Structure formats: structure tokens, C-alpha cells
Chain A
Amino acid sequence: MALDRITLSTFRNHRESRLDGSAHFNLLIGANGAGKTNLLEALSLFAPGRGLRRARLPDMAGMNGNGGFSISAALNPGDGGEAVILGTGTEPVRPSRRIVQVNGADTSAISLGEWLSIGWLTPAMDGLFTDSAGARRRYMDRMALGIDPGHARFANRYEAALRERNRLLSDDREPEAPWLDAVEMQLSEAGAALAQGRERLIALISAVLDRLPDQPFARPTLHYVPGGPSDQQMLATELARNRRRDRAAQRTLIGPHRDELEVTMAGKGVPAAHSSTGEQKAMLLAITLAHAELSSDGRPSLLLLDEVAAHLDPVRRAALFERLRQGSGQIWLTGTELAPFSEIDGEAAIWRVSAGELERLS
């Protein structure tokens, strides 16, 4: 299986935890606060970035440790070769610096992406469809990043250029035209790349979703609504044309910072925001699975699903497990009780988690 022989040392409430004999399905059962999500978070650190809680590294070091933590796992690269040992953590002397090792040699966190791809869905993402449009834009950008690592650069450059333009427009003095030209040139360059990245992402995910049936698992239809032209020259022209209006508003009224991701439930045609909690969860899952499929790109993949089964009725749960069974990615699921997982309890590796201790159930 993708990851096995996993160890956690002074990571949050896990003093010394070890998981051996992982399977395709891996289940972590325990009460709230037992340390199930901490385990998923530890696994999420085998990807570049800050993990599934986006937490600070010093906060991950366990209270009863010396101020650092370490996580390791054996990765089966799927190429028939021998396992690769991945390790990450911090040292007590520099608790904010992440150390990453592959086969015992220091390397960068970015290089973890060479070996595997990791996707996740946590309860923190439940409100996505009812949340602000900004949350959905950030969601699109996070997903686009999994497909094109260069996407973050465009997003950052666009934000910075937008702040410059807005400041210029809200100045008491009429802004100098060549200065606005210079800022808008960069705004349109980054903005077009950003919009095209989002557009491509949604097209790719839609192509995966289109192959799925409407039932029993709610299928979302994604529609990318651009906040401006996605062609650089057209965006530049529009920005220049709108200067007077934008100056009156003291901010930029067109561009990808006004993008929206519209999600409707296929078949019913109901906006996702008006669907039931269970249907919303099912649609989020469908997007997460489609994205995982797209971003694995031949690498072994991991899917971390925190508390997903409880929201789904038995029919949808069965459909979910059936889909997960067919995929090649290793699945890690958490739940407070075993009952919702009866469909897979014969094939899953199951651990009970309590107070940061693990007990293998089957």
C-alpha cells in the first residue's frame, strides 16, 4: 500500500504512535479529541505546505515532548522498486523550521511532491457553498495549485498588483497615466494567467464529473463565472477603459478577484447552497475525488477523509465506498463509531484511537 510503517513521535497528542499493515481502506475510530484528525494531519505533512489544518509547526509539537516532533513512513512507490522512507518534523532548537528527509537525506518539502499526491476533505470545508465567493476562489486556487505549482505565483502577483492599482485610484491626485499603464500591464498579465488556470481547472474537474451518474451520489455541476476577460489584451483594455468608473468606486470592479464558482446539483438543478447538508457533503466529496484523480499524475496518492461517513445516508455511503474501492489511491477515514463503515470493515485496516494511543482492531 502507498504508505505503511507510519510513526509519529511527540506529534500533538501522540507521544509515540505506530501504524503497521495498512490497507487500501484505513479506518481510525475514536471519540472527538482522541487524536484521529491529528493522525490525518501528520499524513498530510508528507505533501508540501502546511498540512490540512494550515497550522504553525511549533503548534504541532507535543506537550510532553522536547519541543520538536517527527513523522516517518515507508512509501511504496508503485514502480516495483523498494520502499522509500519519508520523514519530516522539527528540531527543538528550531521549532519553526520544517525538516524533510527522503531515505535519510535532507531535502526540501517541495520534493515530497515528486513522490506522492495527497488530497483531503475536512469538516472545516463544509460551509464552502454557503460561504463567501472569496472562499470559493481560494478553494479553486488551492486545487489549481495541485495541478500547476506555478498557479500560486500568478495569484500572489495579481493580489499585489490589484492593491497597487486600488491605491493609485483612491489617491486624491489624479494618478499619472503611465504609472497606471505599468501597473495594469502586470495586473492583466497575472490576472489572465490566474483566470485561465481556474478555467482550465474547472474544465478538467467537470470532465471527470461528467462521467459519473446523478444518483445515488449527488453529482455537482461546476460553472466558472469569470469576473473579467481571461485574455490578457482584453483585460488590459477593459481595465484602461474603466479607470474613471473604478476611480469613482475607489477600487477595481472587473478581474479575477470577482470570479465566482457556481455549483449546482446535477439532475435537480438546485444551487448547492440550497441543497441539504448531506447533499452538500456528497458534492464536496465528488469534487475532492475528481481533483485527486486529476492531480495524482501517475504518483501514488493518498486521500484523507475526516468525518465524512456520518453525514451520508447508507445508500450514498455505499456508493462512496464503491467509488473509493475502484480508485488506486490509499484511503484514510475517521469516524466516532464503526457502524457507518460496515460496508468495508472486512477489508479495512482498523485502529481505535484514544488519548493519542492506537490499538489495532482488525
Chain B
Amino acid sequence: MASQEIDALSASLSRLPGLGPRSARRAVLWLVKRRETALPQLLEALAAVRDTLVECAICGNVDTQNPCGICADTRRDQRQICVVEDVADLWALDRARLFTGRYHVLGGKLSALDGVRPEDLSIGALLERVQNGGIDEVVLAMNATLEGQTTAHYIAEKMDGMPVRITQLAHGLPVGGELDYLDEGTLAQALRARRPMAG
């Protein structure tokens, strides 16, 4: 019989992606056995992330500094913005290390059925970034899902008339494909072969 505290820890861990009740119990057991070594380390790492985690005021990335590491990196191309739905997509694209500009995280995608409207996403902030000037290209890296593509077309129309090139990932990607699940080679190819957004 485990105590209430240990049960609570198991329950929290079991909600992590890729885990479940059985693997959570195994992880707890492992930590209990290493309560002198591994447990304090984990606690410190968790606390450090909790205390420093912050949303980047420029792009919406989540990092331990604001502006985030990507926006603060002066070697990156300031004239390119890659627009993604979620932080997970930003991380997936940045893992591929092919995009050298900066990002913009929308925080979701337009969906009438789910009640997500344009004002629920950071589209206004994106338009402002582009209107402030200094941007040559906006890469719309939305997922190939219906909602992702609706969002891309919406943004393209909103940017109509702005002096900026709007491109789109080459979606030879499987329909319904989500960036987060693509391997780096496929992502790199989609980015390399990006094309002007069709009106």
C-alpha cells in the first residue's frame, strides 16, 4: 500500500505524454530508491524551470528568458518570420535547424466548431510586427489540417497589400499531417521548397 503522497505523485506522472499508471508507478519507485541522489536533482530542475519559465513578448515562444533565446540571437535573420500554430511546432522546426529567421507563435488555429476566433490568436501582434517594417518574408508554417490551412489563408488575406513576401511550407506532407510528428528530413524539405502563397 502506497501513501497518499506517493499515490498523488504517481497520478501526476501518469498524465505525462507517453506515460500511464504502470510506467508512472515504476518511475516513482525508481525515485523513491534514489531519494538521496536523483530526487533532489529532479526537484531542483523542476523548480528552476517553474521559476524562470516565461512567454517571449515578441514571438510567443516559451523559454527561461524574455525575449527568448531565438529572438535575442543577433546572428538570426531579422527579416524573416516563420509563423507556427504552437510552441511544439516552433521546437520541431527549430530542431531541423534550417530556418535561420525568427518565429511567431499563434497559440492555436482558427476553428469555428471549437470556437477559436481570430482574436483568440496572436494574429494582431503578428500584423503589427510586419507593419513595423524590416520584414521581407513571412513563412506560413501551418499544419496541413483544414484548420491549419484556413488560418494560413486568413493571415495571407490580412497581409494583402503589405510590402512583404508571403510563402507557405511545401505541403507534400500527408494531409492532416502535423509538423510536430514529422521527421527532420521531411520538415527541411517542406521548408526548402516553400512557395508563394496562392491567393
User: Which of A's residues lie within 8 Å of B, judged by CB?
Assistant: 153, 157, 160-161, 163-165, 167-168, 171, 175-176, 178-179, 181-183, 185-186
Contacts and interface: CB of A to CB of B under 8 A. Distances in A.
Interface SS, A side:
helix
B83 to A, nearest CB: 14
B110 interface: yes
A161 B148 CA distance: 12
Nearest to B198: A185
A163 to B, nearest CB: 6
Nearest to A160: B146
A157 B112 contact: no
Contact of A161 (B110, B118, B146): B146
A183 B149 CA distance: 9
Q: How large is the interface on B (under 10, 10 to 19, 20 to 34, 35 or more residues)?
A: 10 to 19
Interface SS, B side:
helix
19 contacts: A157-B146, A160-B146, A164-B112, A164-B113, A164-B147, A165-B112, A171-B112, A176-B118, A178-B157, A179-B110, A179-B112, A179-B154, A181-B153, A181-B157, A182-B151, A182-B153, A182-B157, A183-B112, A183-B150
A167 B13 CA distance: 38
Given A164-B147, A176-B118, 11 more contacts: A153-B175, A165-B112, A175-B112, A178-B157, A178-B158, A179-B154, A183-B150, A185-B153, A186-B146, A186-B149, A186-B150
Interface in B130-181: 146-147, 149-154, 157-158, 175
A166 to B, nearest CB: 8
B111 interface: yes
A164 B109 CA distance: 13
A167 B112 contact: yes
A164 B111 contact: yes
A165 B111 CA distance: 10
**Of listed A157, A163, A175, A183, residue having the most chain B CB within 10 A:** A183
A186 B142 CA distance: 14
Contacts of B147: 164
B154 A164 contact: no
A163 B154 contact: no
Nearest to B145: A160
A164 B146 contact: yes
B94 to A, nearest CB: 27
Nearest to A163: B113
A228 to B, nearest CB: 19
Interface in B96-116: 110-113
Contact of B150 (A153, A171, A175, A182): A182
A163 B85 CA distance: 21
A182 B150 CA distance: 5
Contacts of A161: 146
Nearest to B150: A182
A186 B112 CA distance: 14
B24 to A, nearest CB: 22
Nearest to A177: B157
Nearest to B152: A182
B175 A157 contact: yes
Contact of B112 (A153, A168, A178, A181): A168
Contacts of A165: 112
Contacts of A157: 146, 175
A186 B175 contact: no
Nearest to A173: B117
A182 B157 CA distance: 8
A178 B150 CA distance: 10
Nearest to B156: A182
Contacts of A182: 110, 149-154, 157
A165 B110 CA distance: 12
Given A181-B153, A186-B149, A167 B113 contact: yes
A176 to B, nearest CB: 7
Contacts of A186: 146, 149-150, 153
Nearest to A176: B118
A38 to B, nearest CB: 34
**Of listed B111, B112, B154, residue having the most chain A CB within 10 A:** B112
A56 B110 CA distance: 34
A186 B110 CA distance: 14
A356 B118 CA distance: 59
A168 B150 CA distance: 13
Contacts of B111: 164
Interface in B71-103: none
